[in-house]
Amino acid sequence: MLYHMLNGAATYDEYIQDAEQTGDQELAQFLQNVKKQNAECAHKAQELLAQRIK
């Protein structure tokens, strides 16, 4: 799960770039927000896993 969350960041970058190239700032901003939320979830998942491994 964590791998896929972190791997998704690169995909979001591609989609954001595509949206910006077509001039769709609304979509680009939306995708940036989704990317940020995904990164926050990945960080939380990493913390939770680290607690359980100890």
pLDDT tens, residue by residue, 5-46: 777 888 899 999 999 999 999 999 999 999 999 989 889 999
pLDDT of residue 15: 96
Distance CA 4, CA 7 (A): 5
Distance CA 29, CA 32 (A): 5
pLDDT of residue 54: 82
Kindly report the number of other CB atoms within 10 A of residue 22's CB atom.
Answer: 10
pLDDT of residue 16: 97
pTM value is 0.80
Distance CA 49, CA 27 (A): 33
Q: How far is CA 32 from CA 25, 47, 53, in A?
A: 10, 23, 31
